[in-house]
Chain A
Amino acid sequence: MDLHTKLKILGAAAKYDVSCSSSGSSRRNRPGGLGNASLPGICHSWSDDGRCISLLKVLFTNCCAFNCLYCVNRATADVPRATFTPDEVAQLTINFYKRNYIEGLFLSSAVYKNPNYTMELLIATVKKLRKEYQFNGYIHLKAIPGADPLLIAEAGKYVDRMSVNIELPSSQGLQLLAPQKDRDSIIRPMGFIHSKILQAREERKLYKNAPLFVPAGQTTQLIVGATPDNDLKILKLSESLYKRFSLKRVYYSAYVPVTQHPNLPAIASPPLMREHRLYQADWLLRFYGFKADELLDETQPLLDTEIDPKSAWALKNLHLFPVEVNRADYEMLIRVPGIGVRSARRIIAARRYSSIDFETLKRFGVVLKRARHFITCRGKFYGERNINESTLYQLLKPASTQQKGISPASKQLTFSSLYPHVFQPEDVYTVITGEM
């Protein structure tokens, strides 16, 4: 089989993995080497579905021993199969990288023969890239559920980011759709990687040259809509993953019906809006100081698809509003619908020198369409008079409720330039605003 066919099959097979980011690592190039990692990450292209292409995302093989019902590559599926050699993956990565098509490699795999055997093949590939080809670009590697911890520890030495996909948010879901996986085989490696990361970080505090271990942290992915799990359950799970394992990201993937089975829901198109709302709620958890319990509860376990989760929260808590933009503290400002991390920071900075008027708010990027109902500016209220929760709900709804794609704010990157003194690390800022 030639390389073109292999890349077609194994590239297409990897597309359901959402993670694409190349952020979080500042691996440096070495003399004689090729490539480095960029802390805020770099997107190189955007595919026709609007998702960013940052890494060469491929499976090592799609010959799978497992039979997870939601997956295109399950053992019983009738699809063309292919397997790379470590050298082919390395050659592709290097040559794409030299032409600046990609930021690095995202290597995943079906379970070939058994988890350990597959993991060894993946390690052989990344080791080849790092040692033989002197590649210092970004590598994101999947940890195969059920692989030996020693193998995972070995892999972690060479890669920037590792991830174990949870895929289904509950053990019942796993039992139903992926009988060969169990909760433990997924959670255990996550805990193991987490402890190794902490250990490596401590060592690097003592010795500058202590080896790196997964410097960009770990992530995971949840499929939304393949099982009856509700949003509250999903958000609670994410919250505890962030807390317990300090995950960098939980990715949500709207379930794409690739196959039919009595255990799977029959849906016409992937639940994109639900996925979008989950991402918004996820951001609220990580960067806006919200807790899952504040956003949802047992009586209302689903996110509103009409309005965004922050607006929905504000509507439930109207007694906290309006707040005065010239006085409210940062924690409260970012809870106002229409005010984000960036505009809140601008407000805080600017009002130290002069009080802020309504026009200035607009320039600062505050979405006044939403925010005006929840703020006062120099004591004046600019929203509608005499409204209650339900009329406000109507006002906050977007004019057309057609499904739009996910559109997180564009990314700001900054770089050193010709002039000295000019370089200021703004990377920290992008990390805080969470735009990667």
Chain B
Amino acid sequence: MVYYIYDGSFEGLLTAIYEAYYRRETPEKILSSDNVQNSLFIKYVHINTDQEKAQRVYDAIVQKISPSAAKNVLYAFLSEAQDAGTAIYRYLKLGWKMGKSVDSALAEPHVFRVHALRKKVSQEAGKMLGLVRFRLLKSGVYYAPIEPDFNILGIIAPHFKKRMPNQDWIIHDVKRKLAAFYSQGQYAIVPFEFKGALPLDDEEFDYQTLWKEYFQNIAIKSRINPRLQRQFMPVRYWKYLIETPGTQAKS
């Protein structure tokens, strides 16, 4: 049995798929280097990431399968699920055989798995578009910390670029220590760590209070339904909100 190990980057995964094809090997699994457990009976092959090879695989996905397959693959990768690499590899292998109709072959477990991962990731990204909360800092920058389950920063950043082109903003994935910095039409996603209190703008407190009060008042008392609220907005997303959900249910 052969396992391919890549460095955890998207390009790394695509390189691994490239190598599997040209070495005429069928690795049992393709894993990211951070979830490898050593076993005696398995041969581990470490793959060196190569931009050029990755690009060739990417182009082959777009041209020989479909652009939406490329999206499926990228989103499934961003899920950071342990089996994502393997599922993507099998999905693509089938895809190069079937062409764009691979996305209809949902009875195939790997196709279904990739679709399921894609859906999870795009759902969280969609939810995050609403749940990001900016705080206006003294410096005039809008800062928003988030802690999403999946690595969706790259998916949501273009949305805010289009929406708020004239304000400088930072979206900070605290868990992954990544941040998207935006200023004047361009953004960059870079490793970023920050600890300590933020100097907020003087106006900021007032608007936060207004929002909190509004949030309290918009609920209809005779319909209070904390279960439904948590179903749409799981508690793990509450940490960086301005408003405080669930307070009326207690009283």
Question: Which residues 398-414 of A sit at the B interface, judged by CB distance below 8 A?
Answer: 404-407, 410-414
Contact with A along B198-220 (1 / 0, CB 8 A): 00000100010111011101111
A53 vs B158: C-alpha distance when bound (angstroms): 23
Bound complex: CA of A15 vs CA of B221, how far in Å? 10
- Knowing A95-B207, A346-B106, say if A270 contacts B222 (CB, 8 Å): yes
Which one, A43-51, A113-121, A140-148, A196-204, is touching chain B? A43-51
Asked whether A29 lies within 8 Å of B165 as measured between CB atoms, the reply is: yes
Of A159-167, A170-178, A314-322, A348-356, the one touching chain B: A348-356
Residues from chain B with a CB closer than 8 A to the CB of A57 are 218
Residue of chain B at shortest CB distance from A20: B218
How far is it, in angstroms, between the C-alpha of A407 and the C-alpha of B228 when the chains are bound?
Answer: 7
Q: Contact check: which of A34, A357, A406 meets B228 at CB < 8 Å?
A: A406
B227 within 8 A of A: yes
Docked complex Cα distance between A57 and B215 (Å):
11
Pick from A42, A49, A352: contact of B219, CB under 8 Å: A49
Q: Is there an interface contact between A256 and B223, defined as CB atoms closer than 8 Å?
A: yes
Say yes or no: B104 contacts A34, CB within 8 Å: no
Find B227's partner among A50, A56, A257 (CB 8 Å cutoff). A50
Q: Does A417 contact B (CB under 8 A)?
A: yes
Q: Is residue B45 within 8 Å, beta carbon to beta carbon, of the partner chain?
A: no
A100 in contact with B71 (CB, 8 Å)? no
Contacts of A412 in B (CB 8 A): 119, 122-123, 126
A419 touches B70 (CB 8 A): yes
**B81 is an interface residue with CB less than 8 A from chain A:** no
Say if the beta carbon of B242 comes within 8 Å of chain A.
yes
Partner of A101, one of B101, B164, B167, B242: B242
Taking the complex as formed, is B57 at the interface, i.e. its CB lies under 8 A from any CB of chain A? no
User: Is A415 touching B155 in the complex (CB atoms < 8 A)?
Assistant: yes
Q: Number of B interface residues, CB 8 Å?
A: 73
Chain A residues with CB below 8 A from B203, complex form: 95
> Is B191 part of the binding interface, using a Cβ–Cβ cutoff of 8 Å?
no
The answer on a CB contact under 8 Å between A48 and B74 is: no
A415 touching B158 by the CB < 8 A rule? yes
CB pair A52–B214 under 8 Å, yes or no, is no
Within the complex, the shortest CB–CB distance from B67 to chain A, in Å, comes to: 4
Please tell me if the beta carbons of B224 and A49 are within 8 angstroms of each other in the complex: yes
Complex Cα–Cα for A69 and B105 (A): 57
Q: How far is the CB of B89 from chain A (nearest CB, A)?
A: 18
Whether B243 lies near A45 (C-beta < 8 A) is yes
B126 touching A413 by the CB < 8 A rule? Answer: yes
Q: Is the interface of A mostly helix, strand, loop or mixed?
A: loop
Closest CB in chain B relative to A47 CB, distance in Å: 4
A353 B101 Cβ-Cβ under 8 A: yes
Contact with A along B98-116 (1 / 0, CB 8 A): 0001011111000010000
Say yes or no: is B136 at the interface (Cβ < 8 Å to chain A): yes
Query: Which residue from chain A places its CB closest to the CB of B159 in the assembled complex?
Result: A415
CA distance A389 to B167 in the complex (A): 62
Rounded to whole Å, the gap between the CB of B95 and the closest CB of chain A is 13
The answer, yes or no, to whether B245 is at the interface (CB within 8 Å) is yes
Within 8 A of A (CB), among B92-146: 101, 103-107, 112, 119, 122-123, 125-127, 129-136, 142, 144
Q: Does B8 contact A (CB under 8 A)?
A: no
A77 on the B face (CB < 8 A): no
Q: Are A34 and B164 in contact (CB under 8 A)?
A: yes
Contact A12 B218, CB 8 Å, known A45-B243, A96-B211, A415-B155: yes
Q: Does A16 contact B220, Cβ atoms closer than 8 Å?
A: yes
Measured between alpha carbons, how far is A410 from B124 in the docked complex, in Å?
11
Q: Which of B122, B130, B209 contacts A42 (CB 8 A)?
A: B130
User: Which A53-108 residues have C-beta < 8 A from chain B?
Assistant: 53-54, 56-57, 92, 95-96, 98-101, 103
Residues A29 and B163 in contact, CB atoms below 8 Å apart: yes
In the assembled complex, the Cα of A29 lies from the Cα of B158 at a distance in Å of: 13
**Can you list the 5 inter-chain pairs with the closest CB atoms, starting with the nearest?**
A50-B228, A413-B126, A405-B228, A421-B67, A50-B225
Could you name 29 residue pairs across A and B whose Cβ atoms are closer than 8 Å?
Answer: A8-B214, A11-B218, A14-B218, A15-B219, A32-B166, A38-B159, A40-B126, A45-B215, A45-B243, A49-B229, A56-B214, A92-B210, A95-B207, A99-B136, A100-B132, A101-B133, A103-B130, A254-B223, A256-B223, A352-B104, A360-B107, A406-B228, A410-B123, A412-B123, A412-B126, A415-B122, A415-B126, A421-B71, A422-B67
User: B-side interface residues toward A, CB under 8 Å?
Assistant: 58, 62, 67-68, 70-71, 74, 101, 103-107, 112, 119, 122-123, 125-127, 129-136, 142, 144, 154-156, 158-160, 162-167, 203, 207, 209-211, 213-215, 217-220, 222-229, 231-233, 241-243, 245-249
Q: A8-B217, A33-B166, A256-B220 are in contact. List 12 more A-B contacts (CB 8 A).
A: A29-B162, A34-B163, A35-B163, A45-B241, A48-B229, A48-B247, A50-B227, A56-B214, A96-B207, A98-B142, A419-B58, A422-B74
